[in-house]
A and B are shown apart, each in its own frame.
Chain A
Amino acid sequence: GENVEQHPSTLSVQEGDSAVIKCTYSDSASNYFPWYKQELGKRPQLIIDIRSNVGEKKDQRIAVTLNKTAKHFSLHITETQPEDSAVYFCAAKKGAAGNKLTFGGGTRVLVKP
Chain B
Amino acid sequence: NAGVTQTPKFQVLKTGQSMTLQCAQDMNHEYMSWYRQDPGMGLRLIHYSVGAGITDQGEVPNGYNVSRSTTEDFPLRLLSAAPSQTSVYFCASKGGSSTDTQYFGPGTRLTVL
Query: In the docked arrangement, what's the CA distance between A45 and B105, Å?
Result: 10
**A-B complex: 10 closest residue pairs judged by Cβ atoms:** A97-B97, A103-B42, A99-B31, A43-B104, A103-B43, A99-B94, A32-B100, A105-B42, A44-B104, A106-B42
**Contact status of A46 and B102, CB under 8 A, knowing A1-B59, A99-B32, A103-B44:** yes
Interface pair A49/B48, CB less than 8 Å apart: no
List, in ascending order, chain B residues with CB within 8 A of A32's CB: 100
Residue of B nearest to A6 (CB): B42
Query: In A57-81, which residues have CB < 8 Å from any B CB?
Result: none
Which B residues are closer than 8 A to A by beta carbons?
A: 31-33, 35, 40-45, 48, 50, 58-59, 90, 92, 94, 96-97, 100-107
List, in ascending order, chain A residues with CB within 8 A of B48's CB: 99-100
Count of inter-chain pairs, beta carbons less than 8 A:
64
Interface pair B41/A99, CB less than 8 Å apart: no
Instruction: Give the one of A93, A100, A101 with max B CB within 10 A.
Output: A101
Residue of A nearest to B41 (CB): A105
**Contact status of A93 and B100, CB under 8 A, knowing A43-B107, A99-B32, A100-B58:** yes
Residue of A nearest to B107 (CB): A43
Q: A11: shortest Cβ distance to chain B, in Å?
A: 15
Interface pair B102/A101, CB less than 8 Å apart: yes
0/1 string, A19-50, CB within 8 A of B gives 1: 00000000000001010000000111110010
Interface pair B41/A44, CB less than 8 Å apart: no
Q: B25: shortest Cβ distance to chain A, in Å?
A: 12
List, in ascending order, chain B residues with CB within 8 A of A4's CB: 42
Query: In the docked arrangement, what's the CA distance between A6 and B101, Å?
Result: 20
List, in ascending order, chain B residues with CB within 8 A of A42's CB: 106
List, in ascending order, chain B residues with CB within 8 A of A102's CB: 45, 59
Interface pair B101/A96, CB less than 8 Å apart: no
Instruction: Give the one of A4, A42, A100, A106 with max B CB within 10 A.
Output: A100
